[in-house]
Amino acid sequence: MSTELVPWVVDRLAALRMVPVVVIDDAAHADRLADALLDGGIACAEITLRTPAGLAAIRRLSHRGDILVGAGTIVNPDDVDAAVDAGAEFLVSPGFGIEVARRARARGVALLPGVATASELQAAVAAGISSVKLFPAEALGGIVMLDALGGPFPQARFMPSGGITLEKAGGYLDHPAVFAVGGSWIAPRAQIAAGDFRAITESAARTVAILEIGVSRVDRS
């Protein structure tokens, strides 16, 4: 069973390199958030389903066409359906669940399941998923853990997330098995709620400059 039916999504994330992890409390802020990220040079966002506003925000952003929108905190098949129906183009889970993987495959959407152990990574690879999220990356040992998993699973590609700061992101991106990094420092929940989008643009621009990344438009070819 393979859930990697839309390889352009992973390729696109690999080109962008940085995936802001967003917790949003009011979907009315979604467009201004997207504008702030784009103004700073980042054309994607993982909108988590940790709040009731998550799905509505995904729905608003999916209609724009200028930003790649994913859904995070996918923990069951119903979440898959809700996120895809809202327009999410990729899904991110905190862990690996076979039923979530099967539903993602049935819906034809890219899934990046979280792995924290060799057993979870082995299960994901057996399900046909080689692009995964290492979570929580820093708590697991960070780059040391990537090195440990990369030996027995050379086909695996990772998007580390969890506890990563701008200061540490460059080290992860330099690792050959890493295709992107997820981080919450670019668009903090409190700044979104306060409407401080200038700060988010500045943070995005600083991240792009320091990490030497950033693509200004979405390419779905």
Per the annotation, the verdict on 89 as an active-site residue is: no
pLDDT of residue 214: 59
Please report, for the domain that includes residue 104, its CATH number: 3.20.20.70
Contact between residue 115 and residue 145 where contact means Cβ atoms under 8 Å apart? no
pLDDT of residue 3: 47
Q: Is the pLDDT assigned to residue 1 strictly greater than 90?
A: no
Predicted TM-score of the model (pTM): 0.93
Choose, from 4, 133, 167, 202, the residue flagged as catalytic. 133
Number of domains into which the chain is organized? 1
Choose, from 46, 89, 120, 138, the residue flagged as catalytic. 46
Q: Is residue 8 part of a domain?
A: no
Q: Is residue 55 part of a domain?
A: yes
Q: Is the pLDDT assigned to residue 152 strictly greater than 80?
A: yes
Q: Is residue 146 part of a domain?
A: yes
pLDDT of residue 22: 98
Query: What b-and-e string marks burial along 11-45, b requiring 16 or more CB atoms within 10 Å of the CB?
Result: ebbebbbbbbbbbbbebebbeebbbbbbbbbbbbb
Q: What value does the mean pLDDT take over residues 102-115? A: 96
Q: Is residue 6 part of a domain?
A: no
User: What's the rounded Cα separation, in Å, for the pair 123 and 84?
Assistant: 23
Q: Is residue 137 part of a domain?
A: yes
Q: Is residue 7 part of a domain?
A: no
Residue 181 structural domain:
13-209
Per the annotation, the verdict on 133 as an active-site residue is: yes
Q: Is residue 145 part of a domain?
A: yes
- Condensed to tens digits (0 to 9), the pLDDT of residues 40-88 reads 999 999 999 999 999 999 999 999 999 999 999 999 999 999 999 999 9
Q: Is residue 158 part of a domain?
A: yes
